[in-house]
Structure 1
Amino acid sequence: MKEKYGIIDIGSNTIRLVIYERQKSGRLREVENVKVVARLRSHLTEDQMLAESGVSLLLNTLQSFQEITRYHRLERVKCVATATIRQAKNQQEIAEWIEANTDFCIRVLTEEEEAYYGFLAVVNSTPISEAITIDIGGGSTEITYYKDRQLYELHSFPFGVLSLKQKFVAGNVPTDEELELLAEYVEEQFHSLPWLLQRNVPIVAMGGSARNVVQVHQLMCRYPLAGVHQYEMKRKHLLDVRKLLISLPFEDIQKLEGLSKDRADLMIPALEVFRVLYDVVEASSFVLSRKGLRDGIFYEEFTQPFGTRVFPNVLQESFFELAQDYDIRLDDVEYVSHLLSQMVEQIRLLQLYPLTDEDVRDMKWAARVFYLGQYIDEESSSQHTFYLLANRTIDGLMHKDRVKLALMASYKNKPLFKQYIAPFSSWFTKEEQKRIRFLGALLKFAYSLNDTKRKIVQQIRWSEQSDTIIMNIICSGDFRAEEYQAEKNKKHIEKILKRPIELHFQQNE
């Protein structure tokens, strides 16, 4: 049986049970996600006690979760609580009631721990090396600043989207005056942290409110990709979502696709917090991290044996997971990368095409997942490769880079390339599209030189003779299979270089 882990997150707005299953790559895959909208914050009295109604609701919820954890035979379930329980003066009694009446032992996170785990989730699942992070919950808002993937500042504000609504908004939808007062209060709070001002870095947001903002925007622009993790928005896009929500009556907001009905009354206050923070930071973009507090807690636990809590290279980890999940032979990948290095050297030497270091890096990443769709079906491996890579979340790759990777790793011919890129054609200039095609064609050609997986090609030398490119390919064994495939695939390179290519295979004596 695969190992399973559970975590219960007792927030101010929702209480959630998530069960993960460890894959052969070591990655944790979510197999159950159960949410109860408890709004515990509304059960906190003026003298900061969680009322009996709130304690009863919490216990009932945890007892219902207990049935699920027992069914899955979970031996390890972490149970953490954030702002509302942290702020409750009777938190000790609450913890004792939970321990006496359920299988769970509650851990109340400090403000610093909550902020730190959010940072850990972001830095281990995105390629962004410097950012401001925000995790706005129901009763608190955690902000951090990190640079070069190291944490420099953190702070927890004692307000969240639920407490802001309670304080400033009388109905379900804020009036212009209420929104103005809310924005002034939040701006004053943010200005109390000098390290937030004019950073001009991305804001990486976590939590349900941020996720719902992204989902609404994706529907507004008919976004062609699956997934929200690492989705990027600009200030204009935040304002577009805000404008849409403000224009709708509350009943229509509740029906809006991409928006959780239970968050309908919280979305406009949350958006106002994001807008104000964007302006205070003078941010370069607004990026969603689907990984948050719960992931940060697991990152801490699973990275401890390695002596570091921050992955040396997020993308490297992702490619390792892909290799494990799709049975990719890393020795073949290394060999093809070696052949690519030889060809890049020759192309640069003869000045046949202006290949940048970024092109070479991208091509070698694509070499690691080239035609991974063969795992599903050999005949349509190109189609499966493109779909899997374009629609699978790859930590460390922003969405445009993910599509670029998918286009290169699935390259078969120009017509299929055009079919794949059609929904994303506005993302890439004509020159970028041509460059991606060339990199894909080089990659496909390099793989054809290892068609029998014997690694017999020892050296590749390119030269020019009149208008023709001569490729001398030195082999250590019978090369007929490789020669056949290479002759088939050279045409894709010829079309882009607009020059004929002659292949001269020879066996090394």
Structure 2
Amino acid sequence: MSKEYYAIIDIGSNTVRLVIYLREKSGRFQEIENVKAVARLRNYLEETNVLNQDGIEVLLKILKSFKEVTDTYDLNQIICVATATIRQAENQQEIISEVEQRIGYNIQTLSEEEEAYYGYLAVVNSTAIEEGITVDIGGGSTEITYFENREIKHSHSFPFGALTLKQMFVKNDVPSEKEMHKVRDYLREQFNSLPWLKSCNVPLIGIGGSARNMVQVDQALKSYPLAGLHQYRMYENDMAFIKNYLLTLSFKKLQKVEGLTKDRADIILPAIEVFHSLYEYVDSSSFILSRKGLRDGIFYEQLTHDFGISVFPNVIEESFNELAVDFDIDYKHVHQVTDIALKLFEEFRMQGVGHVTKADVGLLKRGAFVFNLGEYIDSESSSQHTFYLLANRTIDGLLHQERLKIALIASYKSKPIFKQYLSPYKHWFVKEEQKKLRTLGAMIKLAFSFDSTRRSIVDDLDIDIQDEDINITAYCNQESMPEEYQVEKQKKHLEKALKKKINVVFQPHE
């Protein structure tokens, strides 16, 4: 199959960005090029709302360099979109004509509603959040939406962005506390214009570069051990701490803060104030970063359009289907292992063994689906690869802690190895939860052993739980010697987790 490449150019008020995607065999778009140029086009917008010739030349110079990159690819499609500054420019048509004549790109200027909609679409198709407020701070505008049951209910574009807030309220590179108070009062006034925004008590989902930078600073300050930004969660006290910390720094020191890009140093504090003030106004339950934004929303519209929908029915399911394609997961084997694991799980749950509850069944199923995934890379070090891949790969629909749980379960090899993987994250889980994750991992490992030759020879299990013993009869449709060997070898892990002896008998299924 020939490779399909797509490109999108996003002309914002602060930055202009080119992203090139490769469409993978799973249908997913993988980002392979990401080029950013700081344009600050907002600074070239005159009081008459005309983008001056200096600003147009800055834009043309950037787009000319992007053209040299896009010309090296055989692109299926190239999309060029512009947001607030071009949208608000009185000479918008002249800019579009000059870009088309001199560069060859056809600019599509997004309306406020379209810009907000694409941000919402990116969030609902890359997270499992059912209800929330999205906020995307650009240089010249801020788009917010409210969605419920994953359907958009309200959207609004505020006439301020990180750059305009700086221009309106901040004299120097770093705002004073007094200036920050003025920003806060102004924001409160703006938020008051939307009745549907007050005290929603839902997650606030941040989109865009400022949100990304705030999260990167938070991760750096905490020496965060897990990879990835998408679906990272923060709270009000985290935002307040970062804001107060950055306010103590000189501009020179601010430019060197770990996680903060140098070109955002002068606008990050007004942007954080938007997140913080909105969080308090909404009475939000948490702040979650969406690494996916406007550009992704445009591609999601294209992806889902072929199926006559706009929102994926189940984001987590889509993500696991992508994993199945990327790592050649054997569906027949996975279903057999899952069925056996579920039989063990249900019996243990009914008898109160292993402290598993009905709420854990989803975790068991997902862990079984990707158990031993690292075998795709190397069978000898499969456990290490499984843990690394799952812990450090973004899985749309799963928050970081949920992703880590699945990584710990699916990579289960032994108690010492489990403790080794868990070590940097021990404070994330109470002891009872650590035991439960270990039990689920050992349970799936045993279920895996019952199908070690991938022949689906076990038709049914009969499980009898006594005080000190668990007696399992496995009814088989073929010769079971290889499975008997593996079960006998691996059952000790579940015995240690449950503190019970497991006796297994294999019988032909009549």
TM-score range normalised by the length of the shorter chain: over 0.9
Alignment partner, residue 30 of structure 1: 31
Q: How does 1:174-185 map to 2 (within 5 A)?
A: 174-185=175-186
CA distance, structure 2, for counterparts of residue 244 and residue 315 of structure 1: 36
Alignment partner, residue 485 of structure 1: 486
Aligned-residue offset at 1:346: 2.4
Alignment partner, residue 252 of structure 1: 253
Contact 1:350 1:463 in 2 (8 A): no
Q: Residue 87 in 1 paired to residue 68 in 2?
A: no
Q: Residue 344 in 1 paired to residue 345 in 2?
A: yes
2:462 match: secondary structure: strand
CA distance, structure 1, for counterparts of residue 183 and residue 377 of structure 2: 52
Alignment partner, residue 46 of structure 1: 47
Aligned-residue offset at 1:360: 1.3
Q: Which amino acid aligns with 2:219?
A: Q
CA distance, structure 2, for counterparts of residue 423 and residue 156 of structure 1: 41
2:306 match: secondary structure: helix
CA distance, structure 2, for counterparts of residue 86 and residue 464 of structure 1: 69
Alignment partner, residue 76 of structure 1: 77
Q: How does 1:344-363 map to 2 (within 5 A)?
A: 344-363=345-364
CA distance, structure 2, for counterparts of residue 326 and residue 197 of structure 1: 45
Aligned-residue offset at 1:73: 2.5
The change in CA–CA distance for 1:457 and 1:245 in structure 2 (over 3 A counts) is: same
Contact 1:126 1:314 in 2 (8 A): yes
Alignment partner, residue 11 of structure 2: 10
Alignment partner, residue 171 of structure 1: 172
Q: Which amino acid aligns with 1:114?
A: E
Contact 2:176 2:247 in 1 (8 A): no
Deviation digits for residues 393-447 of structure 1 (CA, Å, limit 9, x no counterpart): 0000000000000000000000000000000000000000000000000100001
Aligned-residue offset at 1:377: 0.7
Alignment partner, residue 439 of structure 1: 440
Alignment partner, residue 300 of structure 2: 299
Q: Which amino acid aligns with 2:42?
A: R
Q: Which amino acid aligns with 1:507?
A: P
Deviation digits for residues 35-64 of structure 1 (CA, Å, limit 9, x no counterpart): 110000000000000000011111111111
Alignment partner, residue 321 of structure 1: 322
Q: How does 1:69-468 map to 2 (within 5 A)?
A: 69-464=70-465, 467-468=468-469
Deviation digits for residues 115-135 of structure 1 (CA, Å, limit 9, x no counterpart): 000000000111111101000
Alignment partner, residue 498 of structure 2: 497
Aligned-residue offset at 1:75: 4.3
Q: Which amino acid aligns with 2:316?
A: L
Contact 2:86 2:92 in 1 (8 A): yes
Deviation digits for residues 145-201 of structure 1 (CA, Å, limit 9, x no counterpart): 001101000000111000110111011001111111111111100111010100011
CA distance, structure 2, for counterparts of residue 241 and residue 16 of structure 1: 27
CA distance, structure 1, for counterparts of residue 368 and residue 497 of structure 2: 20
2:470 match: secondary structure: strand
Aligned-residue offset at 1:467: 2.8
CA distance, structure 2, for counterparts of residue 141 and residue 319 of structure 1: 33
CA distance, structure 2, for counterparts of residue 436 and residue 155 of structure 1: 43
The change in CA–CA distance for 1:253 and 1:471 in structure 2 (over 3 A counts) is: same
Contact 2:206 2:288 in 1 (8 A): yes
1:19 match: secondary structure: strand
1:195 match: secondary structure: helix
CA distance, structure 2, for counterparts of residue 390 and residue 147 of structure 1: 29
Instruction: Give the structure-2-normalised TM-score.
Output: 0.98
Aligned-residue offset at 1:466: 5.9
Aligned-residue offset at 1:354: 3.8
Contact 1:337 1:367 in 2 (8 A): yes
Q: Residue 506 in 1 paired to residue 503 in 2?
A: no
1:366 match: secondary structure: helix
Moved more, 302-311 or 346-355: 346-355
CA distance, structure 1, for counterparts of residue 170 and residue 419 of structure 2: 50
Aligned-residue offset at 1:349: 4.0
1:62 match: secondary structure: helix
Contact 1:135 1:143 in 2 (8 A): yes
Aligned-residue offset at 1:3: 0.3
Contact 2:122 2:297 in 1 (8 A): yes
CA distance, structure 2, for counterparts of residue 89 and residue 195 of structure 1: 32
Q: Which amino acid aligns with 1:39?
A: R
Contact 1:346 1:461 in 2 (8 A): no
CA distance, structure 1, for counterparts of residue 118 and residue 78 of structure 2: 17
1:76 match: secondary structure: strand
CA distance, structure 2, for counterparts of residue 349 and residue 53 of structure 1: 73
Contact 1:6 1:74 in 2 (8 A): yes
Aligned-residue offset at 1:338: 1.4
Instruction: Give the structure-1-normalised TM-score.
Output: 0.99
CA distance, structure 2, for counterparts of residue 233 and residue 347 of structure 1: 36
CA distance, structure 2, for counterparts of residue 177 and residue 464 of structure 1: 68
CA distance, structure 1, for counterparts of residue 299 and residue 76 of structure 2: 16
CA distance, structure 2, for counterparts of residue 345 and residue 276 of structure 1: 46
1:20 match: secondary structure: strand
CA distance, structure 1, for counterparts of residue 64 and residue 403 of structure 2: 42
CA distance, structure 2, for counterparts of residue 256 and residue 504 of structure 1: 62
The alignment of Structure 1 onto Structure 2 pairs a total of residues equal to 509
Aligned-CA RMSD value = 1.0
Identical-pair percentage? 55
The change in CA–CA distance for 1:465 and 1:288 in structure 2 (over 3 A counts) is: closer
Q: Which amino acid aligns with 1:503?
A: V
Contact 2:412 2:418 in 1 (8 A): yes
Alignment partner, residue 57 of structure 1: 58
Contact 2:319 2:397 in 1 (8 A): yes
1:306 match: secondary structure: coil
Q: Which amino acid aligns with 2:410?
A: A
